[in-house]
Amino acid sequence: MPVSDADTIRILVATDSHVGYNERDPIRGDDSWKSFHEVMCLAKERDVDMVLLAGDLFHDNKPSRKSMYQVMRSLRMNCFGDKPCELEMLSDASENFQGAFNHVNYEDPDINVAIPVFSIHGNHDDPSGEGHLAALDLLQISGLVNYYGRTPESDNISVKPVLLQKGHTKLALYGMSNVRDERLFRTFRDGKVKFFQPSTQKSDWFNLMSVHQNHHAYTETGYLPENFLPDFLDLIIWGHEHECLIEPRYNPEMAFHVMQPGSSVATSLMPGEAVPKHVAIVSITGKEFKCEPIRLKSVRPFVMKEIVLSEDRALKDVWKLDNNRVTITRHLIDIVEKLIADAKREWLSYQDEADDEELEAPLPLIRLRVEYAAPEGGRYDCENPQRFSNRFVGKVANVNDVIQFYRKKAIVNRKLTNNAELPEESILAQLSLDTVKVEQLVREFLTAQSLTILPQNSFGDAVSQFVDKDDKHAMEMFVNESLANQIKHLLDSNDVEEDDITEAMDHYRSKLEEMFAAGHLKKTKKAKLKPKPDTWDSDLDGEWADQPGALIHTDAEAEEDEDIAAIPPKKPAARGRGKATGTTRKPAAASKKTPAARGTRGKKKAVEEEEDENEDDVIMIDDDDDDDEEELFVRPSRTAKKPTSKAASTRTKSPVRKAPARSAATKQSKLNFSQPTTQRSPASGRGKKAQEPDIR
């Protein structure tokens, strides 16, 4: 069959735009949205059929008004128009997009979409907070983006494709938004990731997938191996990694290609960010595809160089001098000046020739790494890094960190107290604050500490939420929840003596750490400002709960229910609150309870009140505290009955009435889905067969 434009789907592929990065910087504040605007302008100029974004559209989980404005402005300027979209939607959009409007945006009769944008979320713009919404949900509800590839359950993932067709070319667009790498590794290993395929004409579909995970094995389980993905895929668009490897690389083991477009803005001064930034237009015809790389012209130039002073010929024998600071500083200034000139020359080289005379290169990013270890008996006297960098104000964009001094350490054998293996010294020497993960720093710091109440691994996760996601309440919620868990555990344990309290708390802390490591405890959740009403519209579909008092669970509440499933239910008799009808409670200002008082909970109320008056260390909890504690510890009797099988567990949702049928102009046809025959895990290679029946 001859190839024609009517049978070719042209897709502009980009990842990691990070709109909003460093937006308060007076020099670099507009870099991120300018490069994103260039990407969207390329989509309009090249007349592509669709745009595919593989995560981290925004740099912050809660983007600023300026960032949201610039993104919406670019999308509306370049994606709306009278040109008809030639893609035909064949799958059920309600399963693919799960929004208030269950259709793809270019089939909406109220807006004119010429170029649809499909996007998954990354680790920077993932859903969180009340309603478990992401910034992409706002763009989808406004008709600007089609947000697909959601992962509401990180330990039970179903990946269903968006089925599109143009002419004789059929495209199955898969997407899996970011999941914590260690947890996703375990989920794949346990065979709990299911991929669905069209039930008819499987061999005719071009299978394209976008993911947003670590591509390299930074730790043993902190990445997504390529051989975990099914071998029926044809092309993988890999987000999250910022180094641009735009040419598709063939994986002979899995028989698919992998493309890593990289970021469109430099968010750290590392070697991978210095690679020229590109996007690509992928043209798919039948089962074949070709890639056209396009270099971005608006990206600020970035040049990086690394030198070793002891090997530099210009500084030969300088280490023998007592005062060599001036000589070294002059030499390093000359190197930086040359790097600035090279950066400007390179930037002008790939601009349009007609505009070369009018264009002025933006201030470049320069990073000079200097290894200053001197031979034995000598030393290099180096200037303060910030003072050195400030010499180039008006010449570079990063005026505070142009130079980075480091000293090569001697190779020593070091071991942690738990006999964990450390990376090689050559790798540790290259690490900086831009690459070290917060969880790793916390874990290494707490290795030598002795914690009694706070679980160590949950502590690291809370710090990560505080630092990476700018969650100001993460640490507060973690500490309060840990203390509440310990208090509840001690109140439920009637046989714990006062001398054994410390040991019991330490034992329960170890139990919580084991539960977190096994995946039974979720990440630190956002603070809840107030409980939602019983008629809360959790699905955002305009339908309210029909049953008064029905439980409507958000994702955060569903995670909380799973966390509580492993904690024994609270015994009403052990609370010691005197809940008989008509009685008056003691105020919260009373003192704490003694073991003797705890042992007499079964006695009559008069005896309890007499002991409360005589004892000075009895705690009485008022109604307000009770409400707060119930928010943390939901009793099983107050929640919907949980299924016995974990695989069968689902969130309780409000009844939803079926939406009226759409007109014939916007009605979508539905195809059946079936699962692939194999699932992969590191231990079993091609693994076990999927058992779930077809989804219709």
Residue at 561: amino acid letter:
D
What is the C-alpha to C-alpha distance for residues 93 and 103, in angstroms, rounded to an integer? Answer: 5
CA distances from residue 395 to 269, 326, 364 in whole angstroms, order as listed = 17, 21, 8
* Long-range Cβ contact pairs of 525-533 (< 8 A, separation 24 or more): 525/477, 525/556, 525/559, 525/560, 526/128, 526/129, 526/130, 526/471, 526/473, 526/477, 526/556, 527/473, 527/476, 527/477, 528/130, 528/556, 528/631, 529/130, 531/631
Which residue in 37, 59, 103, 124 is the catalytic one?
Answer: 124
Cα distance between the two ends of the chain? 32
Burial of 311 (0-12, 13-18, 19+ CB in 10 A): exposed
Instruction: Spell out the alpha helix ranges (H) of 134-200.
Output: 135-141, 181-189
| Contacts (Cβ under 8 Å, ≥6 apart) of 202 | 232
- Report the alpha-carbon distance of residue 210 to residue 11 in Å, rounded: 13
CA–CA separation, 676 and 679 (whole Å): 8
- How far out from the chain centre does Cα 624 lie? 36
What is the distance of C-alpha 330 from the center of its chain?
Answer: 44
Beta bridge partners of 113: 80
Sequence-distant (6+) residues with CB within 8 A of 528 are 130, 556, 631
Q: Identity (one letter) of the amino acid at 659?
A: A
For residue 104, give Cα distances in angstroms to 96, 99, 145, 197: 9, 10, 9, 20
Name which of 311, 313, 210 is nearest 258 in CA terms: 210
**Residue 109: strand, helix, or coil:** coil
Q: Are 409 and 425 in contact (CB under 8 A)?
A: yes
Beta carbons of 465 and 472 less than 8 angstroms apart: no
Dihedral sign (CA 128, 129, 130, 135): negative
The length of the chain in residues reads 696
Listed residue (241, 338, 355) closest to 298, CA to CA: 355
Q: Which residues contact 447 (CB under 8 A, 6 or more apart)?
A: 416, 417, 418, 420
Neighbouring C-beta atoms of residue 419, cutoff 10 Å:
6
The question of whether 124 is a catalytic residue gets the answer: yes
Q: What backbone torsions phi and psi does residue 37 show, to the nearest 5 degrees?
A: -65, -40
C-alpha span between 419 and 477 (Å, rounded) = 32
3-state secondary structure of 318: helix
**Which residue in the block uniquely carries the two structure tokens 């005026």?**
399
Looking at the annotation, which residues are catalytic? 124
